[in-house]
Amino acid sequence: MHSTATGFRPRMAVLAVIFLLTFFSAFFIGRYQVSAGDLFDILSYRFLKLLSGIFDFNLKTPVTWTSQAESVIINVRLPRVTAAAVVGAALSVAGASYQGMFRNPMVSPDILGASTGAGFGAALAILLSFNYIFTTLSAFAFGLVAVTLAWAVSRVSKLNTTLSMVLAGIMVSSLFSAGTSFIKLVADTEEQLPAITYWLMGSLNSIKSKDALFVIVLVIIPLVPLMLLRWRINLLTISEDEARSLGINTGRLRLVVIICATLMTSASVSVSGMIGWVGLVIPHFCRLIFGYDYRRLIPAAALMGASFLILVDDLSRTISTSEVPLGVLTAFIGAPVFVYLILIGGADREH
């Protein structure tokens, strides 16, 4: 089935509807039961209250819900569901962008060491007994440091640019993984080691409103340039000479993609921990449905990745009495799905 221009809009519309359904359905999952009426009334009230503060008008809405229901929806589920959507979208878009830049469908968002760098930063912060905010900032900062180091090494290498970047990413990932292992070795086994281990497995259990706002801002800022330049990413999949003949500075474009994808990955990992497979598997599904054109692939990956991680987070909350880490579930789901994609030909299959 070919991804034609006429077929793109209805498919994208279906994907958008699926995202909206998964997003709002997630509010009903949990130990505290929430009615559809309360959800609509509370979200509408909060939205109108925000507008009243901006445009300075009096808001007179009768309160028909309990304070407990409002607290659960606004303080617990809204930040968590929003963070799941943003992290899923960010990892999927970063993965698709990296796969296009490296011309390799096996590439994932941690190819340049962003995830392992963030994991080291979080482990170090937990070892030093930093609070949650500083742990998040440390993870974000070390994710950026890892990719900057990989990029710097590739710049001075005499190898092919793409190959040197991949090798530098492997080296940096190995270095920070070793650092994380050392931290786990010297960490207190009663409190610090379990906290480090749980963080590295990925979870949205501790997400607060400020964390959701943090990841939203740091994902939207790099997502905008990727959306605007997504047609140019198509040119990274052709040869260097062809791209230059079209007036594209491939080196500068690669740097922009790296910066944007790294910011998205580091921001996501800093609040959710290390969640694998999302940025690897989701772009493949999007190619099966929407083809190789990055003008369609990037927005499709954002919607599908957001829906996928919301569903996985719903599963983590309901599959057992205690929450299952997201990284464990995405591996259990992602690995068999990826094997299936390999068996059927994956994204290279004629469609």
Place of tokens 């492997």: 170
Task: Place 349 in a pLDDT band, splitting at 50, 70 and 90.
Answer: very low
Reported as a single tens digit per residue, the pLDDT across 81-125 is 999 999 999 999 999 999 988 888 888 888 999 999 999 999 999
Question: Which pLDDT belongs to residue 100?
Answer: 87
Place of tokens 């987070």: 313
How many angstroms separate the Cα of 101 from the Cα of each of 52, 107, 220?
45, 10, 20
Question: Which pLDDT belongs to residue 2?
Answer: 46
For 157, the 3-state DSSP assignment is: coil
Give residues with Cβ within 8 angstroms of 35, minimum separation 6: none
| pTM recorded for the entire structure | 0.91
Alpha helices in 128-234 (DSSP H): 132-156, 161-186, 192-201, 209-228, 230-233
| Least confident range of 60-64, 233-237, 281-285, 298-302 | 60-64
Phi, psi of 106 (to 5 degrees): -90, 0
Task: Place 351 in a pLDDT band, splitting at 50, 70 and 90.
Answer: very low
335 pLDDT above the threshold of 90:
no
Phi, psi of 325 (to 5 degrees): -55, 140
Reported as a single tens digit per residue, the pLDDT across 136-160 is 999 999 999 999 999 999 888 877 7
Question: Which pLDDT belongs to residue 86?
Answer: 97
Cα–Cα distance between 65 and 75 in angstroms, integer?
15
Fold of 77-348: ABC transporter involved in vitamin B12 uptake, BtuC (1.10.3470)
